[in-house]
Amino acid sequence: MLQSLTFENKNVLVTGGAGFIGSHLCERLLADGHRVVCVDNLSTGESRNIETLLQHANFRFIRLDINQPFELESFAELAAFKLPFQGIQEIYHLACPTSIRNFDQFKIQTLLSSSLGNYHVLELAKKYRARALLASSSVVYGARKNSATQVAEGDNGIVDQLSPRACYDEGKRFSETMFETYRQVHSLETRIARVFRTYGPRMPLFDGQLIPDFILNALDGKDLVLYGGRAFRTSLVFVTDVIDGLVRVMEEKEWTGPVNLGSDVDLALEDVAKMIIQMTDSTSRVVEGENFTFLSELALPRIERAKELGWFPLVRLEDGLRRTVEYMKANKILLTNV
């Protein structure tokens, strides 16, 4: 019955909604006029990311762990969303702990999020006949093979299922399998977006996430540490571009398979660090540091399929870095105290 009804304002669930990308997505959905239920256990998300949203009439935050069974209709704070009548129309599933520096701390949670968590979310989608989007990752393609490697959605990745980071890499592959299987078996409308390395305001600090640490250290005149080494290369896409891509993938009328969302421009991370030093008028130096298990060079995306949806990264690197620098400057005292 819910499938045949059309509502002026959708009820949209965002799992992992207090995270870096999730909080920006919640903002976008509210701006589009939807009612947003943000679910997060705050293991790697931050409540400050959604502080400005808490007073919004169409926003509700529920602190829960998707790895545990949950019933949305049992939460009194969601009564205004009329879930027993309207249900949930869309689910953006972003919940999965991601921490570069503290990766080992969340390994079991990552395993569970990529199995039990997916199951609970997909069962919820089945209950409400909601369209469900999985925020997958570029890690499904495996490590970069050479500097010219570009991957299309039809390429098969190679991932070591026994590696120290396999709980995440193989977990994302299995997550895609679960969403596709529910589509085949239960005729669910599912979508899969493979998100490549993303940067912007609200990235976690002191976690090995290179861009925010570069900026903070540059502002303080400290060394900018290249954890992956001077030869480390990557692509970078600004967070608002990713959000626009997620919404476009969700709104795609027909299922055409996974969609890459990322920049196809190859960057030397050392050059990005030097750009930040110049932007901040800093006297910092660029130095090499230890490498982290979770930090690896990834292939560049082919984005032809995303272009068919009208999507293309619009924010230039210089502009995105400048916006991130401005955010870090404005919030430096708060961020460093936290």
Instruction: Give catalytic residues, as residue numbers.
Output: 168
- Separation of alpha carbons 217 and 225, rounded Å: 9
SS (H, E, C) the chain: CHHHCCCCCCEEEEECCCCHHHHHHHHHHHHCCCEEEEEECCCCCCHHHHHHHCCCCCEEEEECCCCCCCCHHHCHHHHHHCHHHHCCCEEEECCCCCCCCCHHHHHHHHHHHHHHHHHHHHHHHHHHCCEEEEEEEHHHHCECCCCCCEECCCCCCCCCCCCCCHHHHHHHHHHHHHHHHHHHHHCCCEEEEEECCEECCCCCCCCCCHHHHHHHHHHHCCCEEECCCCCCEECCEEHHHHHHHHHHHHHCCCCCCCEEECCCCCEEHHHHHHHHHHHCCCCCCEEECCCCCCCCCECEECCHHHHHCCCCCCCCHHHHHHHHHHHHHHCHHHHHHC
Question: And the tokens for 119?
Answer: 């199951």
